[in-house]
Structure 1
Amino acid sequence: MALQAAEMGIWTWDLVTDERHVYTSGTPLFGLTEQELEEYFRDIEHRAHPDDRPLVDPASDPIKTPRSDVPQSFELRIHDKKGSWRTLLIQGSIVKKDPEGAPLLLMGTFQDITPRKLAEEEVARIAREWQRTFDATNDAIWILDQEQRIIRSNTAAKRMFRRTPGELLGHHCWEVVHGTDRPIPGCPMVRMKSSLQREIMEFQVGDQWYEITVDPLLDAGGEYAGAVHIISDITGRKAAEDAAKRSADNLTILFDSIDEMVFILDMAGKMIRVNKAVRTRLGYTDDELIGRDVLFLHVPEGREEALRIVQGMIAGTIDSCPVPVLTKDGERIEVETKITRGVWDNREVLIGVTRDVTQRILAEHALHESQSRYRSFVQKFKGIAYLATTNWVPVFFHGAVQEITGYTEEEFTAGTLRWDQVIHPDDLEEIIRRDNDGLLHVPGYFVQREYRIIRKDGEIRWLLDVIQNRTDDGGEILLSGILTDITERKIVEEVLAQTNKKLNLLSSITRHDILNQLLVLIGYLSLSRDYLDDTEQLLDCIEKQEQAVKNIQHQINFTREYQDMGVKAPVWHSLQEVADSARRALPSRDIRVSV
């Protein structure tokens, strides 16, 4: 029964007659009956695996050849009935010898150990795969004992620290990594021993950055027994983080270089970011604005209207807001705000571009003849953010490209169209002469310039170009900036200049008339001294002086009227009344005026 349970058998080998027998208690082993097994054993040297046949060759059998009485054992692979290889553990010894001590009879056991061998091979395979994985990673991995000594190290650690395994094993981790005689301050191993959880630390050596990750190894009782210590080279990751930060910094520069106030609102109307123009113009800090409802910036009497507009913006039915805002100091600012939907930090937002239109409104009041034309005009900031080479080739060209230039974004970024081909030829030479030297040779050179472009349809527009140079990682100089359409502003400036010119002319004429009347007054005052004894002549001089004073008073009153030109709304006047008023101002009564 014991042989049957252990899948064992007994064998004998008569070396004199070469008779071989097996005994299995009648139970088949690995598919062979006792008789079949005996036939196998009679021809075992031919049925064994080719690599194992020397073990059972009569000339080299390790059991019968030695003249020692010490039992011998070996493993032998044979084919089973299905043609698969089975592994037998053969054990035996000499049980009978001739007078000279030569072996006559061998006897022993055989056992099918195929399941055990398969299990051992699987364990070995898993161990090999684990070792390959352990050595294939680029991270330096150590197994540490309780005292932080290295008891196992992978190939990457050898490469990273340029030491042989013998120079690593048995040393404390801090000796190898930091070259110290004790753990450094902030050591993750010290923290991990206390927390029994993963701990991480980053540190820099020269230009290289590393990350240490330690995980505890616990015994069956949950007590600290050692650690897995991993060192990763994160220089590439750090470089990527730095590049991302530079990109964010560039975006901030672009964001803060916009002259108009820009608000980023969540879909509830709360501010999540504002640009420099908002902080400068309104006088608030980021902490005072972020997270607050944008309505609090509007004038109190307009907040109900602003609420309705904001709700419409959120619903997508309204895209502009004309309600004035207040600075922190209480100054009222007339504004126009255009709202668009967008995405900021992976969430849907409202982007509001607010332009201070106070000066424009004053200009519209001063220019009454164009008041109706500009009253309904809504200015909308539609800028272009760009990054270009010094050869005017856009690398990044995004925004209201087609609205401003008439060309598509792809026509610029594909390299088929350079920006200097769009600039008006009369302005291009001056731009190159004035700014190219600074942009090409002065690091961080910053300039604002205004020039004209010729749209694809031939229309000419004025642009404000806010530009600054920078150098990429390869040392190439690039130009980054924003373009803003200022055509409407240029129109207003031109009209205002013409009006000022006319007002200056009118002021000059009035001043000349008053000086003439003063000369008359001075003359009659001088004559009055000569006629002190002639009452009739003296009274005539005084009458002339009074008329001159009245004329001066009338002309001064007239200046009060034309100072309001362009400020007050135009009204209808009676031409007869205007003519009579003008006639009364004339110095001579002999002049006749008819209407």
Structure 2
Amino acid sequence: MSNVEEFPAAASRKLSEFEALLSLAPSVLDAMPGAVCICDHEGWLVRYNSEAAELWARAPALDGKHDRFCGSHRLFLPDGTPLPHGDCPMATAIWQGTPANNAEVIIERPDGLRFPALVNIRALTGHDGEIQGAINCFQDISAHKAAEDQVRRKIAELEDFFENSAIGLHIVSSDGIIRRANKAELALLGYSADEYVGRHVAEFHVDAPVIGDILQRLSSGEKLDRYPARLRAKDGSIKHVLLTSNGRFQDGKFVSTRCFMTDVTDLYESESARRESEERLAATYNAATIGIAEADVNGRLLRVNDALCEMLKRSREELLNMTFFDYTHEGDRTEDGALYQRQVRGELDSYVFRKRSTTPDGQTLYLDIHSSSVRDESGLFRYGVRVIQDVTAAKQMEDQIRASEQRMRDLLEALPAAVYTTDAAGRITFYNKAATEMSGRVPQPGDMWCVTWRLYNPDGTPLPHDQCPMAVALKEDRPVRGAEAIAERPDGSRVPFIPYPTPLHDADGKLIGAINMLVDITERKHAEGRQRLLIDELNHRVKNTLVTVQSLAGQTARHASDLGDFLQRFEARVLALSRAHDLLTKRYWKDTPLDGLAGEVLMPLTEEAASRVTIAGPAADLDPRTALSLTVVLNELATNAIRHGALSSNSGTLSLNWHLIYETGSAPRLNLDWQEHGGPRVETPIRRGVGSRLMERCIERDLGGAVDVAFEPAGVTCRISIPLHGSAND
């Protein structure tokens, strides 16, 4: 009989996406930027990261009983319609394999708070194509939705401003075709939109040289301010207008004009003595869509326009009985008053000041004041002209942008992954704490491309900073993915990492810089090394197992009476070996408890007589080699008991007991007693069978122990003594 050591038969296989995700440590999911959750093939929630729990405002139990498809309290469609969890995008991905890309849902937390979320879901399939589960990456897009709403409101306001402005407005293309005109302009000239828009602007100008001069000036970049012109109305009348316009250029090319048209026909026809005054009034007040006021030396208002009245929510009569200090916030009165008095004294020609104003209903406005002086011929102050623009919305937007920028910086600073940014030239502009920890240094002013001290390729060759993935991303204006590198700290230690450089662009698509996240893959590299060792060990164990099976086949064949007897005996022995392998595999080929091993081997063979089988003994762990050898022995004894011994009758019983013997200076010994009672009378066999030889080889030769089988008339007994050496690593 050969001396064979037993190892697992299972070969390594590549993990599926689902299995790989489940094998990740919780910290890996928590390190991902964004909320992530994973469901199994039945939709039960099996994994999620801390950001997902924060968005849900709850931490679902992963017990396969409560949370299915999503960890949210409730779900709704974007229009507010309730969305059952069984109909959500995650359920569709699991049942049908259909992904969800940038789908919007409404998530409700247990406290009733709702927020819009953008979900991206993909089914996870196994090697056989079967869906094993799905992964959901989602994020709170409340700020994005709010920004969209604000943009829509701004667009609506601009459209309203254009269409319902009190003065005529029109847009003319570079070739002189009228593209748009508002209601005021159409009403002024008496044309419908179909009669006016789409025709050349020269068709409506009385003086051909005038429109030629206008287009020439605007195309040259000149701005027109109150340019006089005459237009022909539909009824044949001539309208005298003042045009305030400038050109719009794109990539240096003249595209169109934007023109304010003020009707000054009545002024033109008035007496010449009042024309200058009326033109000033029209230009200053009627053509203005922002607040304008005139004030005396003490700040008392002499004249205000409608826009200012609407802005301050006060009537003209009320304002003309006030000074501009009266509606100024008390915290800004002193500074505004001091600047105005310097202007009155002639120390300042004008000044610009942003201040707060309070409306009668208690609302606080932010106003940009452009104050200038009107003086007589001798230079004495006559009155101040104050142009007032409501910038409350802009101020709020600026505050929101600053807050958003601060939140972004706080977020990047809080990320456990190293993150840094550069400008378009590659100079480092921002780095978080994790970046300094990973690189082992604080980036210095002027550092380029990367926060690391030195870089190397995965094969250990030096990698110049100006050739690193971040430099490639900036130079080629594209994200770089799939690259690996090694960072060396000033202390000489090295960190393998994966970079994710991504270019950043402004609203016009111009490259303004890049952001890079460096993911430390030290643990992954260690895991890959351990995996290679495990594969080598498995190869060794498989070879040894095949040798064992070959030995079993040879021994069984030499002592089998015929092919049927060989098949029966060989199958039983291989199944016993398989059960031992299963038990060892469940425990990752570590020490196996003896009571579990005995149950795995005996109970399947003695299922019908389970009540007549007793297994007892103290806790004892067996190394893989001892477990496999003992499995073969117990299987032989149990098979003999079922065929010929105590378990072949309805009255027989079987007991397996063991105890440990500890001796000073040597490994403990395990003594097992196999005892059969109540079966048929036992006759001593004439010759030793293959089973006896196999048991002797397993115990005596393979394990260095002793085995004694006695064929007593009352029942077979077997005493086994083996040393315990702990886990085997051969």
Larger radius of gyration: 1
Fold conserved (TM > 0.5)? no
The TM-score normalised by the length of structure 1 is 0.43
